[in-house]
Structure 1
Amino acid sequence: MTVVDVHAHLVHPDTVRRFPVPPVLGDVAGLVEAKAAAGIDLTIVGSPNGAGTMVPVPGGGNYHQPLDRLCAFHDWLGQVVADHRDRLRAYVYCDPFGDARMLEAAAQYLATEEFVGIITNPTLRGEYLDSPRADDFFALVAELGVPVMIHSGAEPACCAGIGDYGLVEMVGRYCDVTLGLAAIVLSGRLEQHPDIPIIGTASGGALNLLAGRLDLAWRPRHWGPAATGGEDGRPGQLDRAPHRSRTKAPPSELVRRLYVDTSLDGRHAHLVNLEVFGPDRMLFGTDWPPVPVDHAAKIRMVEELPVADAERQAILGGTALRLFGLEEPGGPAVLAAQAEGSQP
């Protein structure tokens, strides 16, 4: 059985020197050694802020970073993966509202063996991914056929006015992922691009509790016919335009097309995700580095879920190998089997 951690981070050494960054994010050797010791065969690393830092400091965030600086980060990350090809693969960071040059650069990195997916943010500069300005981004992803990890960035839109950075880091970003995924579901993008694997970090945030409320946002019956396409137009009713449905299927059905990782602590959250998303939509992910975790406990949590053995193996690695195109000969599954002295 191959174990794949789809959620881990590294930052460029220059970022470690210049900005506030947890030191563990710059320890490549430590990451590789810790994952191997825990029985994790492959880790997919990336930065949700590109060449920047998650702490909102002048010059350090992921917003407005020059393309040459972002490319320098990806060049470095690609070399790190090449040096540890049996243990690592990487995400390309891409601003979903970036210009054609940024999108083209992302495509070029994804044409290499080192990069297997895209990591991006649910909000940038207060704008969500239901914005038409993200149309070119989703069209590119659909063309490339790679997974997209939705990971909160340095300054979540929902955290405006919050001064406690710990609250932003450990709660606000989960809310940001929740809102970001909900916006994607309601926008119709899952129907427009049904083959894009979208992975929600933070175990999908609280989306597993909100499927019914998304249906009310889709067709708000409590506002009467004028809000849902009727013709009475009684005074006091909302204008129909804000509630015009952009999906054919109810959002409570569309959310089941999303994937979620297992980075959130607590058995209850994963049991709810099993019910809402299903075991075939859950991917093992730790968020370490930087969030301190007990890798053995994370793996044991999956092993103890009330699912069949085949579903358990899929959560731990099988689904990730398929999504990221790593099942072919010479891929991590084969290397792991060879390391154990068995035939793949």
Structure 2
Amino acid sequence: MSQGGHGRDRVVDVHAHFAPLTSGTPLGADPFIDRSGASAVVQLHGHPIDSIVREVGDPGLLLEQESAIGIDVVILSPWVALLPQHEEPGPAEAMCQRLNEAIARTVGDDPRLAGMAAVPMIDPRRAIRVLKEALESGLSGVEIVPTVGGAFVGDDRFEPFFAAAAEMGAPVFIHPSSRGMGIDALRGGYLWNAVGNPVETAVVAAQLVLNGLLERYPNLHIVLAHAGGVLPAVFGRVDHAYAVRPEPRTRLSEPPSRSFARLYYDTIAHGRRELASLLEAVGPAQLLFGTDHPFDMGDYAQRSMLESLGLTPGDLDAILGGTAARLFGLSSSSNDRGEASGKGKEKG
């Protein structure tokens, strides 16, 4: 793949986290990065984060690491630990605005970068306002977490936000964040991440689908982290529930699998069998290349696995970058991208 002016010629990483960090001693800054030793150490709330194994705060170093594995364009999403989930609406809005301003400045300096916004989902009306501001500043989408203030975002009170995102043409990237949803059995063995995160994603996606959101808003583009988590494993089961029970049919006019196939999924499945199964279920048009940079649960060597799946060149190009370029309004220059943000994206 060569880097060029057309999205299909570029490899795009849709799942790469970024945090504007303060270098040196903390001095009240949180998070911060200490580069004084042999390797950089990121700390949050005074604790070192050992799951960060690649660059998270320096866009130049981040791009070097991404380029080394064949990635041309990186869509930066906020490190989910920085997204407000329980704060009061006012402080949450201010936090998101500061984060969005920092990300917009970062991506505006380099056409190889694009960025997603943070929004205060605790108050959907504020979230809509902040998303509009972020798109106008040059960001290209929004990252949210499945639960806010103890409620999953598939709840009806969040529907105005999703309706607005559909109207603005802003892809919504959903990334788990609850560290095991409070389930004691997931505390040990890194299970909160290996098992809890995929389950959390499946719960929120199934809720959104069964609430009929994808049917009511066909222009809504939702991207699920980690290849949809465990959601693909229950496609058939949820369809069966729809066939035999009245509850799943209250807000859907067609089997849930139709809506599941309208969702987008990154390629971080951690297995050829799992990725091939997802590909068979939803088709190549719904897959987006992602790495989960800079975390230890990322997949930085999946290109060869993708290339082994028997895809046509066109389908492989779409997964590696073409679909992401269309959804996120990417172009060959940062100025063009800024002008295109929030408009001109795929509407069907």
Does TM, scored on the shorter chain, surpass 0.5? yes
Partner amino acid, structure 2, of 1:16: P
Distance 1:137 1:168 in 2: 28
**1:162-181 matched pairs, under 5 angstroms:** 162-164=186-188, 166-181=190-205
**1:1-344 matched pairs, under 5 angstroms:** 1-13=9-21, 14-17=29-32, 18-19=44-45, 20=47, 21-22=49-50, 24-47=55-78, 49=80, 51-52=82-83, 62-64=85-87, 66=91, 67-83=93-109, 85-113=110-138, 115-155=139-179, 157=181, 159=183, 162-164=186-188, 166-221=190-245, 228=246, 242=247, 245-291=250-296, 293=298, 295=300, 297-327=301-331, 330=333
TM-score (norm 1): 0.80
Distance 1:121 1:217 in 2: 26
State whether residues 219 and 245 of structure 1, in contact with CA within 8 Å, keep that contact through their aligned partners in structure 2: no
Over residues 216-265 of structure 1, what are the superposed CA-to-partner deviations in whole Å (9 max), with x where a residue is unaligned?
A: 333434xxxxxx3xxxxxxxxxxxxx555211011022211111001121
State whether residues 147 and 324 of structure 1, in contact with CA within 8 Å, keep that contact through their aligned partners in structure 2: yes
Over residues 164-218 of structure 1, what are the superposed CA-to-partner deviations in whole Å (9 max), with x where a residue is unaligned?
A: 3721122211110111111111110001111111111110112222122112333
Over residues 294-326 of structure 1, what are the superposed CA-to-partner deviations in whole Å (9 max), with x where a residue is unaligned?
A: 63x222122222111110111100111111112
Distance 1:103 1:74 in 2: 14
Distance 1:4 1:260 in 2: 14
State whether residues 86 and 122 of structure 2, in contact with CA within 8 Å, keep that contact through their aligned partners in structure 1: no
Partner of 1:43, secondary structure, is strand
Over residues 7-39 of structure 1, what are the superposed CA-to-partner deviations in whole Å (9 max), with x where a residue is unaligned?
A: 010123143234243554234332111111222
Over residues 81-106 of structure 1, what are the superposed CA-to-partner deviations in whole Å (9 max), with x where a residue is unaligned?
A: 122x2221111122434242332012
Partner of 2:261, secondary structure, is helix
Distance 1:48 1:322 in 2: 24
State whether residues 125 and 157 of structure 1, in contact with CA within 8 Å, keep that contact through their aligned partners in structure 2: no
Shift of 1:74: 1.5
Partner amino acid, structure 2, of 1:69: M
Distance 1:77 1:277, change over 3 A: same
Partner of 1:271, secondary structure, is helix
Distance 1:179 1:158, change over 3 A: farther
Distance 1:37 1:162, change over 3 A: closer
Shift of 1:147: 0.7
State whether residues 15 and 290 of structure 2, in contact with CA within 8 Å, keep that contact through their aligned partners in structure 1: yes
Distance 1:156 1:333 in 2: 41
State whether residues 284 and 317 of structure 1, in contact with CA within 8 Å, keep that contact through their aligned partners in structure 2: yes
Distance 1:125 1:109 in 2: 23
Partner amino acid, structure 2, of 1:15: D
Distance 1:48 1:292 in 2: 14
Partner of 2:176, secondary structure, is coil
Identity between Structure 1 and Structure 2 (%): 32
Partner of 2:270, secondary structure, is coil
- Bigger relative CO (Cα 8 Å, ≥ 6 apart): 2
Shift of 1:70: 2.1
Partner amino acid, structure 1, of 2:12: V
Partner of 2:137, secondary structure, is coil
Distance 2:306 2:318 in 1: 10
State whether residues 108 and 334 of structure 2, in contact with CA within 8 Å, keep that contact through their aligned partners in structure 1: no
State whether residues 6 and 285 of structure 1, in contact with CA within 8 Å, keep that contact through their aligned partners in structure 2: yes
State the Cα RMSD in Å.
2.5
